[in-house]
């Protein structure tokens, strides 16, 4: 995944759910802090990005994640057209450590801004935001960066129920983090 694809994913996810911001978790969150040319090839090989909708209620978050997955998830027309998919996740899927919100990095620019076109699943054309935590060697003093591994595995079914599997989060030097995306 490239930075421009990440920005496109932020814009699209926010349009789909009608919210002005989402949180990017998993390996592609690193693109919030670094361009793909600054990273090892292995760090940008994924063709999916994990998006956590922002809501006060995890039931609503899960519903919004399912909506993102239905419109732009694996094997969708969106993936076929753009070459990557947007994986909606909820707080039961993305296990995040204490203090993760303090490490968010905002990604907001003209590429994340919602266009005047609205997909049929969209409730609003509000601009979108995303944020990412710093990459390996630069976690803030006294804090470890966090990582949520991607779900690029052969056993994936593409069905929203695959989200029920929990992902481990590692801490320490050499891990990626989360990002919040804003249009």
pLDDT digits (tens, 9 = 90+) for 16-44: 999 999 999 988 999 999 989 999 999 88
Residue 75 pLDDT exceeds 50: yes
d(CA 180, CA 6): 11
CA 17 to chain centre: 14
Residue 124 pLDDT exceeds 80: no
Torsion angle of the four alpha carbons 167, 71, 83, 94, in this order, in degrees rounded to the nearest 10: -10
Token pair, residue 100, equals 């993760």
Give the pLDDT mean for 61-78: 96
Q: What percent of the chain has pLDDT over 70?
A: 62
d(CA 15, CA 21): 10
| Average pLDDT over the chain, rounded to an integer | 73
The more confident residue out of 173 and 90 is 90
How big is the chain, counted in residues? 183
State the pLDDT at residue 159: 41
Residue 89 pLDDT exceeds 90: yes
The predicted model scores a pTM of 0.67
State the pLDDT at residue 179: 61
State the pLDDT at residue 135: 34
Residue 82 pLDDT exceeds 60: yes
Residue 93 pLDDT exceeds 90: no
């Amino acid at each position: 995944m490239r930075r421009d694809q990440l920005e496109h994913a932020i814009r699209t996810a926010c349009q789909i759910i009608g919210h002005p911001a989402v949180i990017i978790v998993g390996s592609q969150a690193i693109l919030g802090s670094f361009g793909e040319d600054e990273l090892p090839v292995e760090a940008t090989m994924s063709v999916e990005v994990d998006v956590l909708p922002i809501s006060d209620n995890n039931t609503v978050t899960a519903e919004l994640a399912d909506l993102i997955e239905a419109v732009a998830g694996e094997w969708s027309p969106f993936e076929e057209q753009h070459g990557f998919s947007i994986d909606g996740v909820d707080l039961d899927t993305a296990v995040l450590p204490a203090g993760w919100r303090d490490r968010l990095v905002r990604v907001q620019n003209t590429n994340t801004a919602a266009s005047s076109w609205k997909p049929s699943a969209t409730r609003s054309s509000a601009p979108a935001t995303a944020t990412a935590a710093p990459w390996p060697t630069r976690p803030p003093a006294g804090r470890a960066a966090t990582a949520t591994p991607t779900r690029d595995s052969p056993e994936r079914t593409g069905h929203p129920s695959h989200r029920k599997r929990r992902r481990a989060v590692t801490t320490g030097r050499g891990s990626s983090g989360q990002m919040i995306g804003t249009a």
